Amino acid sequence: MPGPVPVTAVASHDTASAVAAVPAAKGAAFAYLCTGTWSLAGLELDAPVLTEESRGNNFTNGLGVDGTVRYLRNIMGLWLLQECLRAWHDPDLGDLLAAAAEVEPLRSVVDAGAAEFLAPGRMPERIARACRATGQPAPGSPAETTRCVLDSLALAHRRGLADARRLTGRRVDVVHVVGGGVRNALLCQLTADACGLPVLAGPAEAAAVGTILVQARAQGLLADRAEARALPPTRHEPRGDTAPPLARGPGVARRAQSRMTGSLPRRPADAYAAPIR
């Protein structure tokens, strides 16, 4: 190999590279969701949050590019749906999501982060069992199970971002979704509805894009992080009163959340009021 060969130190961790690719406008008050098998919900900060309350709420501080801090919570992501698809012998995902979009919203929801969903195998049965255990209707079809999963993930995203905002005191005006989950338009829309905020989706291959952007900056092809983030996302606006219940008012998401355990969540009373600003 003829030399010299330039070597660029990028953000190293795949999540740090994904956050570097978030197409946020300069100065924007944004939160991010790195979606895939797991969802990582958080904020980009200038300094870590080291309070005991933050630790108790399962938030971590990781280094990002340019000395930033990735303040985030790890949330169960599309693992639940992936395992359901495997149990159903991989049906056409587009058809399944179209059918799920027609299912009654918030008919049944589960705690997507519960330990009972961590292991592989028989996921639709375990989701149905969790619904019955909390006095909710058990999903009776793949479409109903898929809607249950996506509604539950949207609520988990809302809870994670609301907690991040509360623990940091930071305002959030827009949510950026990056990673493989951006290909699931229904999940992006339900997240917008749940948060009461616009969701900007893309890029899908955020970790790879972030790595490329950092290398481009190192070679002088991009001036700064703001220029590197000038990528066009897909926008999902929260829907109003004529659309799903998650978008309809201050108590809806909180009441849906309470059904996961059969009691109201032990969090501040406004943590689930829309929007999460």
Q: How many C-alpha atoms does 79 have within 13 Å on its Cβ side?
A: 18
Between strands 174-179 and 69-76, the pairing is: unpaired
pLDDT for 98: 98
Q: Which of 30-39, 169-178, 230-239, 257-266 has the lowest mean pLDDT?
A: 257-266
For the chain, give the mean pLDDT.
88
**What is the mean pLDDT of the segment spanning 140-169?**
97
Q: Quote the DSSP letter at residue 238.
A: P
Residue 51 has pLDDT above 50, yes or no: yes
Q: Which of 108-112, 170-174, 226-230, 244-248 has the lowest mean pLDDT?
A: 244-248
Residue 106 has pLDDT above 90, yes or no: yes
Euclidean distance between CA atoms 5 and 165, whole angstroms: 43
Q: Quote the DSSP letter at residue 134.
A: T
pLDDT for 240: 62
pLDDT for 108: 96
Residue 252 has pLDDT above 80, yes or no: no
Q: Using 50, 70 and 90 to split pLDDT, how confident is the model at 39?
A: very high
Sequence ranges of the domains in the chain: 27-258
Residue 199 has pLDDT above 60, yes or no: yes
Higher pLDDT, 160 or 12: 160
Residue 251 has pLDDT above 90, yes or no: no
199-201, strands of its sheet edge to edge: 59-63, 69-76, 38-45, 30-35, 174-179, 199-201, 234-236
pLDDT for 256: 80
**What is the mean pLDDT of the segment spanning 55-73?**
96
pLDDT for 262: 60
Q: Is the CATH number 3.30.420.40 carried by domain 27-258?
A: yes
**What is the mean pLDDT of the segment spanning 9-16?**
89
pLDDT for 274: 52
Q: Using 50, 70 and 90 to split pLDDT, how confident is the model at 258?
A: confident
Q: Using 50, 70 and 90 to split pLDDT, how confident is the model at 224?
A: confident
Q: Using 50, 70 and 90 to split pLDDT, how confident is the model at 223?
A: confident
pLDDT for 222: 86
pLDDT for 81: 98
Q: Which of 99-103, 152-156, 181-185, 239-243 has the lowest mean pLDDT?
A: 239-243
Residues in Cβ contact with 143 at an 8 Å cutoff, skipping those fewer than 6 apart: 96, 99, 100, 102, 103
Do residues 42 and 9 make contact, with C-beta atoms less than 8 angstroms apart? no
Do residues 94 and 47 make contact, with C-beta atoms less than 8 angstroms apart? no
pLDDT for 242: 40
Q: Global pTM?
A: 0.88
173 is catalytic: no
